[in-house]
Amino acid sequence: MWLKNLQIYRLPANYAMTAAQLNECLLSRAFVPCTGMDVQSQGFAPPRDGGDLVHTVNGQMLLKLCTEKRLLPASVINQVSKAKAAELEDQQGFKPGRKQMREIKEQVADELLPRAFAVQNHTAVWIDPVNGWLVIDSATPSKADDVLKLLLKSVDQFPVTSLRVIQSPLAAMTSWLSSDEAPIGFTIDQDTELRSCGMDKSAVRYVSHTLDADDMGRHIAAGKQCTRLALTWADKITFVLTESLAIKRVTALDVIKENSDSKMQDDCERFDSDFVLMTGELSRMLADIVDALGGEASA
């Protein structure tokens, strides 16, 4: 298992709460499927079937937020409401008015909701209490906020903070492209986006394209700044760094996959082995990214 999109937060180094203590706190927010008239249900579920809400290996913790939503499209409500309105018109001899139509739609929604199809999605949360990382596998900050809100409701005085660095990713990535030189331990790949900070908001995007230094220089001289940049770390992991310090499209390269024990037949052992391998590499990668951005900013 590998996290694909990293929203990164900070915990105090050597965070003292144990997995057992955290598990106890999360029990009050355990996931329960939608029942009755629930449109959505959200809570923490075991990362591994039959396990605790906090799965831990070598001091690294893994959580899973489960969100279930009932799908009740407006088109379905409108279709059924239209049929009911036609029946009512035959009974009363005139078309239902706005208020009556609103009441019909509300009644139809109440009738259909318990039978609506429910879909689930899961968001992984990795906690590294040794190095003080809390990472949420989400492509958008809004989903990460949902996780944090539930954690803050579950754990009293949960000491999570945003990651702050000395040099902004926007300035750093623009500098790397301008000089055609990546920070130590990294290489620049073939995807990037440069965007103007002027009124026109013009942008140019390169996808699987050689990033020519002269081209990059012209765009930067014209006032554009780098908002996304694909990088490879230590010839092991590729990713895209964004201006908001989110890391997207994380992919482990073959050199890491070859180190995993593919001969293991037990799913639980394989899961734990992959988790240990992933957390070890990502912990080092995150530290190097912070260093490349000038270090961590003091509060």
Q: What is the pLDDT of residues 70-94, one digit of tens each?
A: 888 888 888 888 888 888 888 888 8
Per the document, the length of the chain is 299
Q: What is the pTM of this model?
A: 0.86
3-state class of 139 per DSSP? coil
Chain segment 47-60, per-residue pLDDT in tens: 998 899 999 999 99
Query: What is the residue-wise DSSP string for 159-202?
Result: --EE--BSS-HHHHHHHHHHHT-PPTTEEEEEEEEEEE-STT--
Mean pLDDT of 7-28: 92
For the chain, what is the mean pLDDT?
A: 91
Q: How far apart are CA 64 and CA 20, in angstroms?
A: 15
pLDDT-above-90 percentage for the chain: 67
Place of tokens 């180190």: 259
3-state class of 221 per DSSP? helix
Question: In 3D, which of 220, 216, 192, 219 has the Cα closest to residue 205?
Answer: 192
* DSSP label of 113: G
- Give yes or no for a contact between 123 and 64, defined as CB atoms under 8 angstroms apart: yes
Strand boundaries in 197-269, DSSP class E: 203-206, 224-233, 237-242, 247-252
Place of tokens 């955290």: 22
3-state class of 86 per DSSP? helix
Q: Which two tokens stand for residue 146?
A: 């949902």
Chain segment 199-218, per-residue pLDDT in tens: 777 899 999 998 988 899 99
Q: How far apart are CA 126 and CA 247, in angstroms?
A: 14
